[in-house]
Amino acid sequence: MTRLFNDPAAFADEALEGFTAAHRRWVRPVTGGVVRATATPAGQVAVVIGGGSGHYPAFSGLVGRGLAHGAAVGNVFASPSARQIHSVATAAHAGGGVLLMYGNYAGDVLHFGQAAERLAADGVETRTFAVADDISSAGPEESAKRRGIAGDLPVFKAAAAAAEQGLPLEEVLRVAERAGARTRSFGIAFSGCTLPGADHPLFTVPEARMAVGLGIHGEPGIGEEALPTADEAARLLVETLLKELPEDVADPAGQRAAVILNGLGSVKYEELFVVYRRVAALLGDAGVEIVDPEVGELVTSFDMAGISLTLTWLDDRLEELWRAPADTPAYRKGALDAAEPDPDRASATAAARDTAVPAAPVVPAASDASRRAADTVLAALDAVARVVDAHADELGRIDAVAGDGDHGIGMRRGSTAAHRAAADAHGLGAGAGTVLTRAADAWADKAGGTSGALWGTILRSLGAALGDRDAPDAARVADGVAEASAAVRRLGGAEVGDKTMVDVLVPFADALAAATAEDLPLADAWDRAATTATAAAAGTADLLPRRGRARPHAEKSLGTPDAGAHSLALITRAVHGALLDHH
**Catalytic amino acids?**
217
Q: What are the DSSP calls for 373-389, one per residue?
A: HHHHHHHHHHHHHHHHH
In Å, how far are 45, 299, 324, 524 from 5, measured between CA atoms? Answer: 37, 21, 37, 45
Closest Cα partner for 403 from 214, 135, 219, 217?
A: 219
Q: Is the dihedral of CA 314, 318, 323, 328 positive or negative?
A: negative
In 10-165, the DSSP E strands lie at 27-30, 33-36, 46-53, 70-76, 98-103, 126-131
The alpha carbon of residue 50 and the mean position of all alpha carbons in its chain are separated, in whole angstroms, by: 8
Residue type at 487 in one-letter notation = A
Instruction: Report the SS3 class of residue 330.
Output: coil
Are the C-beta atoms of residues 378 and 435 closer than 8 Å to each other?
yes
End-to-end CA distance of the chain, in Å? 47
Are the C-beta atoms of residues 130 and 115 closer than 8 Å to each other?
no
All residues at 6 or more sequence positions from 277 whose CB lies less than 8 Å from its CB, including other chains = none
Closest Cα partner for 135 from 59, 76, 52, 221?
A: 221
In Å, how far are 13, 109, 538, 539 from 493, measured between CA atoms? Answer: 31, 11, 22, 20
Closest Cα partner for 398 from 564, 545, 563, 536?
A: 563
Q: What is the 3-state secondary structure (H, E, C) of 171-238?
A: HHHHHHHHHHHCEEEEEEEEECCCCCCCCCCCCCCCCCEEEECCCCCCCCCCEEEECCCHHHHHHHHH
Distance (Å, rounded) from C-alpha 324 to C-alpha 154?
11
Report the side by side order of strands in the sheet with 209-212.
223-226, 209-212, 183-191, 305-314, 256-263, 289-296
Are the C-beta atoms of residues 280 and 313 closer than 8 Å to each other?
no
Question: Taking the C-alpha atoms of 244, 249, 251 and 256 in order, what is their torsion angle to the nearest 10 degrees?
Answer: -100
Q: Is the dihedral of CA 331, 334, 340, 342 positive or negative?
A: negative
Are the C-beta atoms of residues 290 and 259 closer than 8 Å to each other?
yes
Element holding 439 (H helix, E strand): helix 432-447
Element holding 262 (H helix, E strand): strand 256-263
Residue type at 118 in one-letter notation = R
